[in-house]
Chains A and B, each alone.
Chain A
Amino acid sequence: MVNYFLTIYLVNMRKVDFDSKTIKEHGLSNSEYKKICELLNRSPNLLELGIFSAMWNEHCSYKSSKIHLKKLPTKSKDVIQGPGENAGIIDIGDDQAIVFKIESHNHPSYIEPYQGAATGVGGILRDVFTMGARPIANLNSIHFGSPKHPKTKNLLIGVVKGIGGYGNCVGIPTIGGETYFDESYNGNILVNAMSLGLVKKEKIFYSKASGIDNPIIYVGSKTGRDGIHGASMASSNFDDKTEEKKPTVQVGDPFTEKLLLEACQELMRDDSIVAIQDMGAAGLTSSSVEMAAKGSLGMEINLNNVPCRELNMSPYEMMLSESQERMLIILNAAKEKNAKKIFEKWNLDFANIGKTIKTKKLILKFNKNIVGDIPIEALSIKAPVYDRKFIKKNIPKKQIISKDKFNKLKIIDTLIKLISHPNISNKRWVWEQYDHTVMANTLQKPGGNSGVVRIEKTNKAIAATIDSSAEYCVAHPLTGGKQIVCESWRNLISVGAKPIAITNCLNFGNPEKKNTMGEFIDCVEGISQACNYLKYPVVSGNVSFYNETKEKSIKPTPTIGGVGLIKDYSKMITMNLKSENNILIVVGKTLGYLGQSLFSRIILKNKKGPPPEINLFNEKNNGETILELIDKKYILSAHDISTGGILVSLVEMCIAGNIGVKIDSPKTLVNLYEFFFGEDQGRYIIEIKNDNFNEVSNILDKNSVFFEKIGTVQKDKLTLKNEFDIFIKELIDYNNKWFKSYIS
């Protein structure tokens, strides 16, 4: 390694070009380096090279994804702020808005699971509260390798503790999430954290700098040597030396985050702040450059004023450190004194480190010398953008399953095997480590269709869900992309929420590979089609490429965070079955399609074939009809039918309500396995009163929604005539067993 730390950074002292080793260590290609020299009209010094490296890497520049992300719909009458800010914002009426975003922290979490996951939560919280919102809920999606892989258990334990350790301390409830195991994540786990905040519409803060000679204020923790080049690390593949990257993982301090949150909220009460952004990936560099770029102005920073945790920190380290819990503020000059007082009250650093300038440049001073001088545009709009080569995946051939494969099976054994599988088993062990009730507004905790928190002093509640389906995406990325959006939509519908918008976290392998790029493009296309049709726009998001170790890539895993509004939470629906003699209806048509289903993969060990088709018309129509039935108070409980098909969904409802169901034998002539385990899309199970059957069927008929009665709620057993008769208690045990034994 070059010794970066003792080099003297005088702009006028550069004569020598860097060798290709140094350039490569900075994650830049030779052609990119050439472009830097052209933009500067000279070669950069080491500090400048580091800054280009931070801003031009995939994580910050979106250079491989940018042109494709433009296809996503980002507007609707409810959208206040789409992608491009710290987070997206939607209108929820009464002058209130919800700020939300999802972000990945995959690479650091694999290297150091506790700190990686903890700082992932910290980062997303800051993205939300930097916009003036108070965070009200967190969610997360975590993917691990095979449970049998030697690293999986420790990674799982570390990540869960890290997420809990951070969110619990700041005091934000974690109301939902998903935990998934698959060997494609053996060398690259996924940790995606989502946060939602509540803000008054007239109190939203943005990151666009404005005004000349306004002070640039640094607040929060001191800058240390942690996380230097974190963003570049997240923009490359892993290899045998991955462990050596530990020092590039940041260390979280949730207590300081809590102080920073409260101090910012206090400062945000008046008009002191002109612009504000958190120092996330690429720290001081990205925050200053992005704020200046948005405001079309420049920044002059005196690095001697940056609060440092360690002695003799160099400009290079200060600009590239990813120390946590820091914010950059452009302040109204007249308010500096008062602002300082607030941060002193909360025991946080507050330092004037520079000013906005007219020339669109980033000027860095240190020990009275100019040590860096870069045009802002070279770091922003002039950064490279690639239209990478790609290969699209054709839809695979449908599989024909021979009859004798079913003959060897028993329905009940199959069901037990599925509900005992790691990916279906009860995840209580995970979410009981997250405080899900702090703030005392949680109406639905993890484990249901969606998490729900109410908005104080109103009848409103916000529902949020997080979903991914890598199996469908790897089989056919276009269909997979559509499917996740639809699943997210269904999860919100099932609690009685009107879906409003999504945030997405696109986790993929190496974009320089044609197949990976093809997967990415198709997933984005699928997401785009579904979001367009459902009027469910994307308001924020994040792309994580290079989830690849030794040439082995993860399955394409776009994660969708959906947010919906419940106008009157007294009408909210839960999934637990309510009482005996109520009847259950499957809404949506069951064709019995088994391709890519849990049944095919686990029981038949067949991973081929296309995923189930998505019919967006039915999806929308079925969902809106469910909302109508909820609004008219006919529905007592509801659950979408997803992985595992009708029977697994039914069992989940029984377990949640600790009550049984007498299942009707299917009237159509489909094979029982296809009927009960098929994963046809756009379906829900609803519980209604027997007396209301006519009214409910009228509404379903009127809207041309296919439905069939599936059973009746009964005391404590799940029964299907001639097939099985099993106590719910037993099913609960099977469902709980795997996680318990795995952890202990």
Chain B
Amino acid sequence: MRSSVVIFPGSNCDKDIAVALEKFNFKNLMVWHNETTLPKSDLVVLPGGFSYGDYLRTGCIAAKSNIINGVIEFAKKGGLVLGICNGFQILIETGLLPGVLIRNKNLNFLCKNVYLKITNNKNNFLSKFNKEIIKLHIAHNEGNYYVDERNLKTLEDDNLIAFKYCDKKGNIAEENNPNGSIKNIAGIFNKKQNILGMMPHPERMIDKYLSGEDGKLFFNNIFSKHA
């Protein structure tokens, strides 16, 4: 399984995700944002960070970068694309995923562990998860997902919501919604379910010495499906 991680000048989770991918046996290549074509890949990752400083709307300049056309083309052909945190924001700005990510409801950057309920495991990313509730880490300022009613209905009807913020037991309620996202949404798919955008960082939870190891399930899962 070959993966490519795009590095924007302000990416700061590119190395973390590369370490995670290699740990789980991906043959990974890093791709500089000024490139115009992607190397042959099975998975393309847009990592977390501050792509071009994000002084404007997060991800909006990255959505016009040189490499992004390659990513869009790759996605349209059905290739697996994963956007984590800033990567999710960029995917939204490209239009590959619907909605918008606005500032957290308390207007603060938020870095903490959260529980997530996997709401759709019939896809390329999450099909072999052996549990429904996982713990991952979030670290963002703009993770408050919003989408209009029509698109929300599509997300729900077509089962395109990947994760929802919940409590330890899986209850989805306002008090375990860290950032104000509509319907506690933490991650979504496109219609074909080959693109996943998510705010939590699985790459930060890949062994028992870190604050959790549910990220391991995540990477193991993509790999086992396509080995």
Contacts and interface: CB of A to CB of B under 8 A. Distances in A.
A435 B50 contact: no
Contacts of B16: 438-440
A441 B209 CA distance: 9
Interface stretch (B103-111, B157-165, B184-192): B103-111
A440 B49 CA distance: 13
B53 A169 contact: yes
A341 to B, nearest CB: 14
Nearest to B178: A432
Interface in A250-278: 253-256, 258-259, 262
Given A169-B53, A258-B50, A454-B209, A346 B110 contact: no
Contacts of B19: 440, 456
A441 B141 CA distance: 21
B9 A437 contact: no
Nearest to B108: A433
Given A255-B53, A255-B55, A171 B13 contact: yes
A328 interface: no
Contacts of B209: 443, 454, 569-570, 572
Given A169-B10, A171-B13, A255-B55, A435 B210 contact: no
A256 B143 CA distance: 23
Contact of A255 (B15, B50, B111): B50
A436 interface: yes
Contact of B111 (A171, A259, A433): A433
B203 interface: yes
Contacts of B50: 169, 171, 254-255, 258
A346 B9 contact: yes
Contacts of A625: none
Given A440-B210, A443-B210, A432 B49 contact: no
Contacts of A434: 109, 111
B216 interface: no
Contacts of B137: 437
Contacts of B9: 255, 258-259, 262, 346-347
Given A169-B10, A438-B13, A433 B109 contact: yes
B203 A435 contact: no
A440 B111 contact: no
A198 B29 CA distance: 24
B124 interface: no
A134 to B, nearest CB: 10
Contacts of A176: none
B62 interface: no
B211 interface: yes
Interface in B161-220: 201, 203-204, 206, 209-211
Nearest to A437: B204
Nearest to A429: B108
Contacts, number: 86
B201 A437 contact: yes
Interface in A439-472: 439-443, 445, 454, 456
A440 B10 contact: no
Contacts of B201: 437
B55 A440 contact: no
Nearest to A570: B209
Contacts of A254: 50, 53
Nearest to B11: A171
B20 interface: yes
Interface string B76-107: 00000000000000000000000000000000
A434 B109 CA distance: 7
A442 B217 CA distance: 20
A171 B209 CA distance: 20
B53 A436 contact: no
Contacts of B223: none
B65 interface: no
Interface string A149-175: 000000000000100110011110000
B111 A253 contact: no
Interface in A419-441: 431-441
A437 B53 contact: no
Interface string B45-59: 000111011110000
B112 interface: yes
A168 B52 contact: no
A433 B110 contact: yes
A168 B108 CA distance: 12
Contacts of B52: 255
A168 B15 contact: no
B110 A258 contact: no
A171 B211 contact: no
A154 to B, nearest CB: 14
Contact of B139 (A253, A347, A435): A435
Contacts of A436: 111
Interface string B30-53: 000000000000000000111011
B12 interface: yes
B139 A168 contact: yes
Contacts of A161: 108-109
Interface in A188-236: none
Contact of A432 (B48, B53, B112, B204): B112
Contacts of A169: 10, 12, 50, 53-54
13 contacts: A165-B109, A168-B111, A168-B139, A255-B9, A255-B52, A255-B53, A255-B54, A259-B10, A432-B112, A440-B210, A443-B209, A443-B210, A570-B209
Interface of B: 9-10, 12-13, 15-16, 19-20, 48-50, 52-55, 108-112, 137, 139, 141, 201, 203-204, 206, 209-211
What are the 5 tightest A-B residue pairs by CB atom distance, in nearest-first order? A171-B12, A255-B53, A440-B16, A435-B139, A440-B204
Given A437-B211, A440-B16, 13 more contacts: A168-B111, A170-B12, A171-B13, A171-B49, A255-B9, A255-B10, A255-B50, A255-B52, A255-B55, A258-B9, A258-B10, A440-B203, A442-B210
